[in-house]
Every structure is written in C-alpha cells, then in structure tokens.
Amino acid sequence: MSSDTTAKPAIPDSCCFVIFGVTGDLSHRLVIPALYNLAESGLLPERFCVVGITRTEMQSKALHDDLMEGLQKFATRPIDKAVAQKLFDCVLSIHADPAEPNSFERLKAHLDKIRTTDGIKNHLFYLAVPPSAFRPISEELGRLGLLTDQPDGWRRLVIEKPFGTDLKSARELNLDLLKIVNEHQLYRIDHYLGKETVQNILVLRFANGMFEPIWNRNHIDHVQITVSETIDVGTRGSFYEATGALRDMVPNHLFQLLALVAMEPPSRFDAHSVRSEKGEVLAAIQTQTEEEALTNSVRGQYVAGRVRDKDISDYRKTAKVAPDSVVETYAALKLTIDNWRWAGVPFYLRTGKSLNAKRTEVAIRFKAAPFSMFRATEVERLSQNYLVIGIEPTEGITLQFNTKVPGPSVTVDGVEMKFKYKDYFKVAPSTGYETLIYDCMIGDNILFQRADSVEAGWQAVQPFLDAWKKSGTNGLAMYKAGTDGPQEANELIERDGRRWRRIDGE
C-alpha cells in the first residue's frame, strides 16, 4: 500500500507463487481472479510462475483447465484470453502432502529447477487451506529450508484467517510459526483490509486537518461498527458450529476496522509504525470480567424468516448443525478503550447473518450541540451528527448535519453530504485481494496483522467466549431472518440513551 500519490506502482521482483489448496474454493473465488486482475493491470513480475500444490496427482494441463473454469465463473471483469493464457501457461502442478514428507522433497526439487533454469529466486508460499494445515505445511517447508531467506532471494508465508480460535490457540499458533519464519516474513491476510474504503480510513483521518483535531472523547459521543449479511450459513454448518459469529468476524474484520478508527497517528507511514499503533489500541481495549461480558453483549441465532425473496429456515435445521445448538449467528458487543483519547467513548460492534440488508460501515457519532438557541425546534428535527464510512455495498463517506430550511422562519432540519467512490474514480471491479497479494510480492506488510495485534484481539473477546460457553442457552436471543437482529441488541445500546443506525437505511 504505497503512500506515494503520483508514482506508478512498482513492478514486483520475479517470484514463484506457490499455492497450497490451489483447487479449493478460496483459490477459485479470490486468489486466481486477483492474480488475473494483477496480470491484466501489468502488475505481475516479468518473470513469474505459479506452482499449484495438490493433494492428489494432477497434470498441469488439467490444473490449467480447472483454474480457467474457475476464472470464467468468478472473474470480476471481462476476461482477455491472451492475458489469461499467459498467466496459466506459467502454472505448474505439483503433488505435495504433509502426510507424505517425500512429496515435499519433490516440491523442493521443482523449485530448485525453476531457480536454476528460469532464474526465479524469490518464493511466496500462500496457504489457501484450513487453519489445521498451517503448522504441518509450514513445518515441512521449514524442515527443507524453503522458508529461510537467502542472500539472493526472499521467502514469504501467507496464511488466511482465522488465526486461532481463542487466545490460547492464537498464542500457540504464533509461537509455532515464529519458530519457522520471522515476523517480517509472515503475512496474516484479512481480505477486509484489501477494500479501498477500509484503507481510506487512514487517509481520511491523517491527510485531512479538519478531522484529527475532533477525533477524540471531547467531540465524539460513540462509534458503531456494523457488518451485516443477508446470507444464511448455507452449506457451512460444520464450520459455523465450531466457530460462530463472534470468532468468525470480531477478532479480525471488526477489530481491524476498530483499530484503524481508534489508533493514534503513526510517526510515519510505514508498516512498523502503523502496525505498532494498531497493536497499541487493540491492547488498550478493556478486558472485561465474565459478568461484565454478559452485561455488555448480546448473542443471537436466527429462526425461519424471509430475506428479500428467499425463504430462510431455522439455523438449527441447517445440515450438520446440532438440533439444540447454542452457537450464535449474531453478536453485538459494547467495548471501551482505556486510553486518553477514547476514555468514556463506547464502541458498539454488531455482526450477523440472515439480516435484512448487507451492510458494512463505521459510523462516528459526534456529540450534540447545545439546543438552547433552537427551543422552538422539536428535538427530533435536529439531526444527529454522523460521519459514516460505507464499505459495503456502497463505498463512500457520508456527513450528516443540520441546516436551515429555506423560508422566512428559522427552521432546522438534517441533511447529508455524500461522497461515493464510483462517482469520482473509475476503478475496475476487483476481488479485494489484488492490493494484498501485490503487497505480499513487494514486501509491504502494512495491511497485515502482527502477532501482538492478533493476541490483543483474542484477549479482548476471550471473556465473551468464556461467559457465553458457561451460560449455555441462557441469554441466547432468537431473531427472525430478514430483520435487523434480536430486540435485545436494541436494548443493549438504548439503555445508554443511544440507538443503532438502521441496517437497511441509506
């Protein structure tokens, strides 16, 4: 993520892009389309190859055909056959399985051959696999020295979230991986940070003198962070039973948004400075007792309803879901940050499935001005002052404020000023992975989580996990699919004299 506003993006050094799980859903939907988009934009290295790792023997031609079929299904822009052909011509299929150590010897032999014959000396290992495979694959790569930086070539390892399932497992994963690679080699990828609007939070805050002076407890009443989805759990019943909404979304997606909104200004715009400030603010989230966690949270589970034109059945009737499951499909939390800037400012987070609209946004509510001048105006007519950063489905920024209604009398009403990216910038549709993969290749880890941030996030949510586990069905709120969530979530924020923004509103 370059901070230079004028320079053309640099072309990455030559590299071999090694994908474990190359035939999986993640590769088909996101990784390969992102590589194609980079190729079409001229942002892949001149000397570049893709090594697709499969768990069963597969000819390279068969892998080409499989990847092309996936690209045709999931491409975000029209496919230029020449560009696609050039990309897939450099794809090599190799069988490797941690259960068969000799198969990694073959992988090393192939990479050594590429190094010798093609002169490609840099290796990027992308683990598009379940988290349970992170350790065994990394250990095999480490055993053969494939993750050791060389004087003439770098080695980098990319892993997908989740980074653990609780604080203990996150610490263990970090400890195990950092025995094999150094922190600067490890790229923990979160696709939310590839979204332009998310990255723009940094620019909005620190490149505009009008915002930073009021970005504190003296002027901000509270912050709402919302990630709502209309989709149900679908075919991911077994995954969701082991994960739930809190684990799935809060320590990664929502906390990354929180960190960008709440972090202190970095001393410079580089990976170390930005990641250090993000880690500091996540560590400053107050660790609650289990009793406090129950008071300051709501967990919900959807029951049958209708979302748009689709009928949704009970979560408990989903395949591979326990008929008496207490796993949450909705979570709402009230958090506080124990530092000077944010003392006394609550952060309200919510996320859920089968809700009435798909929306991801950060809403900053400013404190109200004194109303004494406008005694004749009904308080309801005075608009709340919000700065809303829209991430999905509409990318943009909205400022909500009060103004005088035209006419002879002083009548006040709320209005909005809206900036939408599509109105100002002509950007080709993307997967959201392009920036992240490009940054992996150029060695810029500013958008990637560091070990301390991962552990700080789990530290903050661990009391909620423990309290919910002990409470069982007690406190599990049911909500109808197609609504904005359980009523208890409204009560959570309303007891503080505040209200959630409408999920289905503009």
Active site residues: 253
Could you give the CA distance from residue 371 to residue 387 in angstroms, rounded to a whole number? 20
Could you give the CA distance from residue 316 to residue 462 in angstroms, rounded to a whole number? 25
**The dihedral of CA 447, 450, 452, 454: what is its sign?**
positive
3-state helix/strand/coil string of 248-303: HHHHHHHHHHHHHHHCCCCCCCCHHHHHHHHHHHHHCECCCCHHHHHHCEEEEEEE
Residue 161 is labelled as binding a ligand: yes
Residue 358 is labelled as binding a ligand: yes
Beta-sheet pairing, 15-20 with 123-127: parallel
Could you give the CA distance from residue 89 to residue 82 in angstroms, rounded to a whole number? 10
Phi-psi region of 267 (alpha: psi -120 to 50; beta: other; left: phi over 0): alpha
Residue 183 is labelled as binding a ligand: no
**The dihedral of CA 461, 464, 466, 469: what is its sign?**
negative
Could you give the CA distance from residue 153 to residue 379 in angstroms, rounded to a whole number? 65
Residue 55 is labelled as binding a ligand: yes
Could you give the CA distance from residue 367 to residue 459 in angstroms, rounded to a whole number? 30
Strand partners, 15: 48
Could you give the CA distance from residue 416 to residue 22 in angstroms, rounded to a whole number? 46
Residue 195 is labelled as binding a ligand: yes
Residue 426 is labelled as binding a ligand: no
3-state helix/strand/coil string of 302-369: EECEEECCEEECCHHHCCCCCCCCCCCCEEEEEECECCCCCCCCCEEEEEECCCCCCEEEEEEEECCC
**The dihedral of CA 332, 482, 499, 347: what is its sign?**
positive
Contact predicate 249/351, CB 8 Å: yes
Q: Would you give the DSSP letter of residue 417?
A: E
Q: What's the number of CA atoms in the CB half-sphere (13 Å) around residue 480?
A: 7
Residue 469 is labelled as binding a ligand: no
Task: Give the residue ranges of the annotated binding site.
Answer: 55, 161, 191, 195, 229, 248, 353, 358
